C-alpha cells in the first residue's frame, strides 16, 4: 500500500512545527526531538468529544501543548503520517483521538512507543500504527509498504482486523464467511 500525504513531525522545536504547519516538509532526522507523552486529551480535548462524526477531524490536536493547532490545522496540512515520541496516546481510552486523526487524513501514526488502548482503538478504525522509524524513509521514497509491516507481533485476530482495514470491515467479512 502507498501512504499518501505529507509527514508531520510533532517536534519539540516550535519553529520547525510552525514551518510544517505552514506547508514546509521536513526530511527525516533521527536526532530530532519529538514530543512525547501525547495524551488522548491533547488529541481531542473533552469538549470536542461531544462530536461523534467527521467533525472530530476539525479539532485534531487542538489540545496539544504549545497551542499550534487550531480548527482544521491537521486536515488542511494534508498530512498522511504523524510522527511523535514516546507514549503516544497515553491517558484515557478516548476513541475519538485516533478517529479525529484518521478523518483528518492521517493514514499512519509512527511513534517511539504507542499505548496499548490507543493502538487497539486505532486498529479498530483502520488507522495504522508503528514504532518502526525505518518506515519513514521508505514512505519518503514512495515505496509500497506491505500491510504485514503493521501486523508484526499482533495476535491473529488483531492482525486480521488490521488487514481488513478495521473492526467493522473485519466483522462484515466475518459475517459473509459465516453466511456461506
On the 0-12 / 13-18 / 19+ scale of CB atoms within 10 A, 144 is exposed
- Rounded distance, CA 113 to CA 39, Å? 12
Domain 6-144 has CATH 3.40.140.10: no
Is the pLDDT score of 67 beyond 70? yes
**Total residues found in the chain within this entry:** 180
Whether residue 117 is predicted with pLDDT greater than 60 in this model: the reply is yes
Q: What's the pLDDT score for residue 6?
A: 98
**pLDDT tens profile 72-113:** 999 999 999 999 999 999 998 889 999 999 999 999 999 999
The ranges assigned to domains in the chain are 6-144
Overall pTM > 0.85:
yes
Mapped onto helix, strand or coil, the DSSP state of residue 178 is helix
So what's the pLDDT on residue 123? Answer: 97
Beta pairing partners, 110: 83, 130
Residue 36 pLDDT greater than 50, yes or no:
yes
- Percent pLDDT > 70 in the chain is 96
Amino acid at each position: 500500500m502507498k501512504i499518501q500525504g505529507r509527514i508531520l513531525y510533532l517536534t519539540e522545536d516550535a519553529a520547525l512545527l510552525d514551518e510544517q504547519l505552514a506547508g514546509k516538509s521536513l526530511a527525516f532526522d533521527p536526532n530530532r526531538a519529538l514530543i512525547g507523552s501525547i495524551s488522548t486529551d491533547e488529541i481531542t480535548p473533552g469538549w470536542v468529544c461531544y462530536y461523534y462524526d467527521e467533525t472530530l477531524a476539525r479539532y485534531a490536536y487542538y489540545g496539544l501543548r504549545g497551542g499550534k493547532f487550531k480548527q482544521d490545522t491537521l486536515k488542511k496540512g494534508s498530512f498522511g503520517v504523524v510522527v511523535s515520541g514516546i507514549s503516544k496516546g497515553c491517558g484515557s481510552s478516548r476513541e475519538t483521538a485516533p478517529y479525529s486523526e484518521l478523518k483528518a487524513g492521517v493514514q499512519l501514526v509512527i511513534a517511539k512507543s504507542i499505548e496499548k488502548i490507543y493502538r487497539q482503538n486505532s486498529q479498530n478504525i483502520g488507522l495504522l500504527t508503528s514504532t518502526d522509524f525505518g518506515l519513514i524513509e521508505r514512505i519518503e521514497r514512495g515505496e509500497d509498504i506491505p500491510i504485514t509491516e503493521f501486523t508484526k507481533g499482533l495476535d491473529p485476530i488483531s492482525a486480521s482486523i488490521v488487514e481488513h482495514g478495521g473492526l467493522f470491515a473485519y466483522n462484515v467479512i466475518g459475517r459473509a464467511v459465516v453466511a456461506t
